[in-house]
Amino acid sequence: MEPTTGAPVDAVPRRVPVRQQSRRHRDGSRADGDAPTDDGSAFWAPIEQVHWDGTPVREDPAPERERGSGATRHRSAARTPRPPDPLPGLTALLLLSLVVAFFAWVSAGPFWLAVGHARAGTVVVDGCTGAGLNQRCRGIFTADDGRFVAHGVRVSGVPDGRDTPGSSLPARMTGPDAGTAYADTGVTRHLRWLPGLLVVIGCAAGIARWTGSTRLPGRRHRRWAVAAALAGPALITLGFLVAAW
């Protein structure tokens, strides 16, 4: 039996003529030194490369599913990626900036007092409302050097038992335009600015993270984006420090 076709060996010819032989192929055969065929118009190809009728064997086309998947992959690769949604980043930027502004505002005055920029004096309590963390006191501050007297200022850090009207307490203010007189002493005065500035630093890191500045491609662009994200909270805090001087 012939292994390719399964026909008897004696019944299968060794070569089959190929139809529509090109002239170039015929000329090439003669140039190589092969003897031309009897009529000069047929080229005998191996039987493994042709069908029984003499037509060349062609590769089977790819299945429809494979062609479809290849086209789908080509379209997916050619499709432009969707830009990220800017709404979450803008929302995080706005909310964290408001938090930065609040804590920078409440920490600016205590910070100057802690580093020594303050006017010492005496505050006379006019009255207090609430208790504990909700206590609110008002009074009259008089500087020790007699340069200014501030009426109706908020008194912070009034100890227990000293909140009765007419009580005198040593206090400090950053200047005559400040609205708060601080009667805190010791470590308490540092607790009024240090946690607030730590929150400001945390919000700055959150802005850099949630606005996507830390995920930009390229080291140079990423550095500029992170620097801009950190510069916003720093400028807000600097502005409140200048206003509280």
Single pTM value for the model:
0.57
d(CA 153, CA 161): 20
Domain locations in the chain as residue ranges: 1-79, 87-102+194-244, 118-186
Cβ-based neighbour number of residue 68 at 10 Å: 11
- Tokens 């409440």 belong to 106
Does 18 score more than 50 pLDDT? Answer: no
- The mean predicted confidence, pLDDT, of the chain is 76
pLDDT band at 235 (very low <50, low <70, confident <90, very high): very high
* Gyration radius from the chain CA atoms: 45
With tokens 């037509």, the residue in question is 55
Whether 96 and 207 have beta carbons less than 8 Å apart is answered as yes
- Residue 140 tokens, joined: 């009259």
Helix (H) or strand (E) holding 96: helix 87-114
Determine the distance from the C-alpha atom of residue 40 to the mean position of all C-alpha atoms in its chain, rounded to a whole number.
75
Position 238 scores a pLDDT of 93
Provide mean pLDDT across the span 199-227: 90
User: What is the per-residue pLDDT across 33-88, written as a single tens digit (0 to 9) for each?
Assistant: 554 444 555 556 676 676 666 677 666 555 555 555 555 555 555 565 565 667 88
SS3 150: strand
Say how far apart CA 54 and CA 58 lie, in whole Å. 12
